[in-house]
């Protein structure tokens, strides 16, 4: 057998690249197991770029990818393709409707789940704050790094390619960490409960919610910090916000969940108030931008911190909004049998999925879980 293999290798070495290619293709077409082995070898030695995996292989609609490569020199072909393009645009909303997909976060991270964030880039990773610890996971949900915040509970988090920003709940401050957990800078306000709901923005800014005294919730503000030094740049929004929470950067604007006023407040990145947005939803508490849509989660408590009485759907749905605030879709809780199930926290976009945490009661115990949605 070894002699036969050697003779075959010697004969193949005399063939041209084109001839070898022809033999390989014919073999793969004749034997499916050889085709699978070839795919595995290609994936190992020449993996597809992330943009092709996400943009093409996982796409629901390949028409735009086909149209992009066509050379429309023929008038009839151009007319047909323009009809395809119009049809694709006209049916875009239907294809982008949220549908649930499989996703499983390690169970031990769900016990004390606080917040999640995505690290951008080709090697996209998920950051999970669970209790006192921050975990970094790859797309397969394998923990690649973690660090503990000493005595501090690590609450709201956001991240970029170099740093992780985490709110330290016990001292109401925000800290910048490297991926190995080294603390680089900290901001702690002597007068306010500062550093909540952090979000990064263009121009090297980090926006956070700054809560006033409980007796005067109209003192809530947004503060802009230098993302590197965490030094305060400016504040804005006082008297406009009551129970401020989730933030989302949309182009050159900052959208703020004005929870107890049942609206979104829109500011320029310099802090100038632009407009207010209201809708069918109530008590917005979490907000995420994906492409040209906003995904909004409602709070499930009223002003007395009890169940939301005036809108029983609060906390049990995700509202999909246009940038102007028009409701495009309402995604409800699917498991109606789960006791007390409520969406919570800020949605994030990771691995082409919209991830939203929720809480529910299981045998009289409160538990956390994650729902993953495609179509964002």
The per-residue pLDDT for range 97-140, each reduced to its tens digit, is 888 888 999 999 988 888 999 999 888 999 999 888 899 999 99
Contact 114, 129 (CB under 8 A): yes
pLDDT in tens, 303-352: 444 455 555 566 788 999 999 999 999 988 765 445 567 888 789 999 99
* Neighbour count for residue 145 (Cβ, 10 Å): 15
pLDDT at 189 over 60: yes
Mapped onto helix, strand or coil, the DSSP state of residue 29 is: helix
Q: Is the pLDDT of residue 74 over 70?
A: no
pLDDT at 39 over 60: yes
Among the listed ranges 62-76, 185-199, 320-334, which one has the minimum average pLDDT value? 62-76
Give the rounded percent of residues in the chain with a pLDDT score beyond 90: 38
pLDDT reported for residue 322: 92
- The pLDDT > 70 percentage for the chain reads 74
Angstrom distance (rounded) from CA 186 to CA 98: 38
Q: How many whole angstroms from its chain centre is CA 152?
A: 25
pLDDT for position 301: 63
Q: Which of helix, strand or coil describes residue 9?
A: helix
Highest-scoring range by mean pLDDT, 67-76, 229-238, 340-349: 229-238
Q: What angle do CA 226, 231, 232 make, to 5 degrees?
A: 90
Average pLDDT over residues 23-31: 74
Q: Which residue has the tokens 């119009």?
A: 86
- Report the pLDDT value the prediction gives residue 276, as an integer from 0 to 100: 96
The reported pTM is 0.74
Nearest to 373 by CA among 301, 312, 290, 281: 290
pLDDT at 304: 46
The mean pLDDT value for 244-273 works out to 95
Decide if 174 contacts 225 (C-beta within 8 A): yes
Strand pairing category for 317-321 and 293-298: antiparallel
- Can you give the pLDDT at residue 178? 93
Walk me through the domains of the chain, giving residue ranges and CATH numbers. Answer: 101-374 (2.120.10.30)
- In this structure, the strands spanning 173-177 and 164-168 are antiparallel
Taking the C-alpha atoms of residue 125 and residue 144, their distance in angstroms, rounded to an integer, is 9
71 or 32: which leads in pLDDT: 32
In this predicted structure, what is the pLDDT of residue 290? 93
pLDDT in tens, 280-297: 899 999 999 998 899 999
More confident residue, 133 or 19: 133
Lookup: tokens for 211: 């809560």
Query: If you average pLDDT over residues 68-83, what whole number do you get?
Result: 61
Model confidence at 93: pLDDT above 80: no
Name the nearest CA neighbour of 318 among 297, 287, 348. 297
Name the more confident of 102 and 41.
Answer: 102
Confidence label for 262 from pLDDT (cuts 50, 70 and 90): very high
Average per-residue pLDDT for the chain: 81
CA–CA dist 263, 283 (Å, integer): 7
Find which of 75-84, 215-224, 316-325, 332-341 is predicted with most confidence, using mean pLDDT.
316-325
């Amino acid at each position: 057998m070894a002699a036969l293999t050697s003779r075959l290798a010697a004969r193949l070495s005399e063939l041209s690249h084109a001839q070898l290619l022809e033999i390989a293709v014919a073999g793969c077409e004749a034997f499916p197991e050889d085709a699978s082995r070839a795919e595995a070898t290609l994936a190992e030695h020449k993996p597809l770029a992330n943009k092709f995996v996400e943009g093409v292989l996982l796409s629901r609609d390949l028409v735009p990818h086909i149209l992009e490569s066509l050379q429309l020199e023929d008038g009839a072909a151009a007319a047909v393709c323009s009809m395809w393009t119009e049809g694709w645009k006209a049916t875009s909303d239907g294809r982008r409707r949220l549908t649930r997909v499989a996703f499983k976060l390690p169970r031990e991270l769900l016990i004390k789940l606080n917040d999640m964030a995505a690290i951008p880039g080709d090697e996209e990773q998920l950051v999970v704050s669970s209790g006192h610890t921050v975990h970094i996971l790859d797309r397969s949900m394998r923990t690649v790094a973690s660090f503990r915040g000493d005595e501090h509970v690590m609450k709201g988090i956001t991240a970029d390619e170099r740093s992780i920003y985490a709110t330290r709940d016990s001292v109401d401050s925000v800290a910048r960490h490297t991926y190995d957990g080294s603390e680089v800078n900290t901001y702690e306000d002597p007068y306010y409960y500062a550093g909540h709901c952090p979000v990064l923005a263009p121009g090297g800014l980090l926006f956070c919610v700054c809560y006033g005294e409980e007796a005067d919730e109209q003192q809530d503000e947004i503060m802009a910090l230098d993302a590197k030094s965490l030094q305060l740049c400016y504040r804005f929004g006082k008297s406009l916000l009551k129970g401020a929470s989730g933030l989302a950067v949309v182009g050159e604007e900052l959208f703020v969940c004005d929870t107890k006023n049942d609206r979104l407040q829109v500011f320029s990145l310099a802090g100038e108030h632009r407009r207010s947005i209201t809708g069918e939803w109530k008590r917005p508490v979490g907000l995420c931008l994906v492409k040209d849509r906003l995904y909004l989660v409602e709070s499930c408590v009223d002003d007395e911190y009890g169940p939301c009485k005036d809108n029983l759907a609060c906390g049990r749905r995700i509202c999909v909004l246009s940038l102007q605030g028009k409701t495009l879709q309402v995604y409800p809780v699917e498991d109606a049998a789960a006791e007390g199930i409520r969406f919570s926290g800020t949605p994030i976009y990771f691995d082409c999925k919209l991830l939203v945490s929720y809480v529910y009661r299981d045998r009289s115990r409160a538990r956390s879980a994650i729902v993953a949605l495609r179509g964002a």
